[in-house]
A and B are shown apart, each in its own frame.
Chain A
Amino acid sequence: MKIVDVNVSIGNWPFQRFPYYDLQALSTALDAEGVSLAVVTAVEAILNSDPCYNQNLHKQCQNDRKFVFLPVVDPSMPGWEERLSAFLPGLRGVKIFPNYHTFALGSSQIRDLILFLKALTLPLIIQMRVDDERNQHPHMRVAGVAVEDITQLANLYPDQVIVCLNAYIQEVEQLLQNSENIYADISFCEHMDTLGTLNKTLAAERLLFGSHTPFLYTRSATMKLNLSRISKEMRQKIAWKNAEDIFRLEEL
């Protein structure tokens, strides 16, 4: 079965040693795990606002059929629109880290970003966290993005597709129940038979395969997908169909 991974990163993160740091090695590793296509962002862009990280990755992903480049944007940083426009055409979405870049989801900057995305029918990706808050360095703590803030934003712009990454299972349940335009990845979602369990309480229709590679073992996500007790149709939706629709991948 085809798998599109919507939550992959490449680069250095000061709190974890990764098994690889270049796109070629990442590509080989994802092949081995059965991931056909990956939406990828630059790890450094989380903590460093130098545009070079997005630009370098964008360059590397061009002409590479394995990766779909996803820029990290801080809409509180002047000039973001111009820098983002440099990635057109071919832009498939935008990722934000509201908690790391310390802007509120209710701010006017977000409104401008959403207008930009709506004009191009692109999804907004919100990465809610990077690691487990309980294990963060005591002087470098960043809380997860609040479900209520995302829900408010989603309900304010009901035709804007919002994809939430790294939400815990209770958060996924709340997010998907609260707003029809919210999707979530499975990377941080966990309970015995995760997807089968989620499918009992709400439509797992709006789940996407995301592994949070290389922070997490890719295999954990593929096994979660492949062994969960859900129908073949649902598994396909989560594995690639939803991602293909949202990121308009068939156009690639």
Chain B
Amino acid sequence: MNIIDSHIHARLNDNPSIESILDFSQHCHIDRLVILGDVLAFGFFPSPDQIKQINNHSIDLIKRYPGRLYGFCFLSPEHPPVFIDEEIKRCKKAGLIGIKLEASVNCRDDRLTSLMQTASGLNLPVLHHSWYKTEKINPAESDPADIAYLAARFPDVTIIMAHLTAVGIRGVFDIQKLKNVYVDTSGAQPFSGAIEFAVDYLGADRILYGSDAHYRDFTAQLGRIYGAKITDADKEKILYSNAKRILLPD
């Protein structure tokens, strides 16, 4: 079976090295990987220059490993719209295929408006961090209800909500009716039942396999999918064909 990992991180300091990530992913039969950037390399609030540094790193990696690595353009909505707009266009031209947002600005904030409009115009998917946390890592961190709010405002933008296990039952219900929202399987330990629950209430068509490697292990993260009590056809959608359709159309 072909496998696409739609959520990994490669470090600016190359530790672990990109070669070791590619090597171990191949060992786990993962053909293609989507790098979201070293998003916390400069903390939660990177400067525009630091954003460029992170994106240049991703661009460099996809150029070095075409057909194996794909990349997202990392942004912070607190930066001026002119910068964001230029950065999206620069990254798209260089081959990046989506936008990654982390936790610098809550996604209900008005500062996401122009960014989302650009994403819509250029037909770029947006992968957004999300978590229902007992204690937020910072006050701006978005939870699934925030993601649902954003998705309702921009129904023609494909949004990938990160971290299925961490968003839990409430998170699945938050986005259930918003058909432009997908969820990736990364986040937290491989708690049983999460995949089955998402398949039951969202359908396998809306779930993407993502590992959050190198922080996490491809092996344990694939184990959630292989170990889930779902059909082989659903596993294939989660591991490959959904990501192929949404992120890597021919």
Contact = CB atoms under 8 A, between A and B. Distances in A.
Interface of A: 16-19, 33, 131-138, 141, 187-188, 190-194, 212-224, 226-229
A190 B191 contact: no
Nearest to B21: A192
- Interface magnitude class on chain B: 35 or more
The main secondary structure of chain A at its interface with chain B is loop
B192 A224 contact: no
Given A191-B215, A228-B219, 7 more contacts: A17-B193, A33-B227, A132-B189, A187-B189, A193-B24, A216-B190, A217-B192
Interface stretch (B45-53, B57-65, B101-109, B128-136): B128-136
Contact of A217 (B24, B132, B227): B227
Contacts of A138: 134
Interface in B205-248: 213-224, 226-229
Interface in B127-153: 131-135
12 contacts: A16-B193, A19-B192, A134-B134, A135-B168, A136-B134, A191-B216, A192-B218, A193-B20, A193-B217, A220-B220, A220-B227, A221-B223
Nearest to B8: A192
A3 B71 CA distance: 39
B166 A191 contact: no
Contact of B213 (A16, A192, A213, A218): A192
A220 B214 contact: no
A23 to B, nearest CB: 17
Contacts of B27: 227, 229
Nearest to A226: B219
A217 B134 contact: no
B41 interface: no
Given A217-B228, A223-B219, A224-B217, A188 B189 contact: yes
B193 A18 contact: yes
Contacts of A17: 193
Given A18-B192, A192-B214, A227-B28, A135 B166 contact: yes
B16 interface: yes
Contact of A223 (B16, B166, B226): B226
Given A192-B214, A194-B220, A216 B24 contact: no
A17 to B, nearest CB: 5
B220 A224 contact: yes
Contact of A192 (B24, B226, B227): B24
Contacts of A16: 191-193
Nearest to B168: A135
B188 interface: yes
Contacts of A137: 134
Interface string B171-208: 00000000000000000111111000000000000000
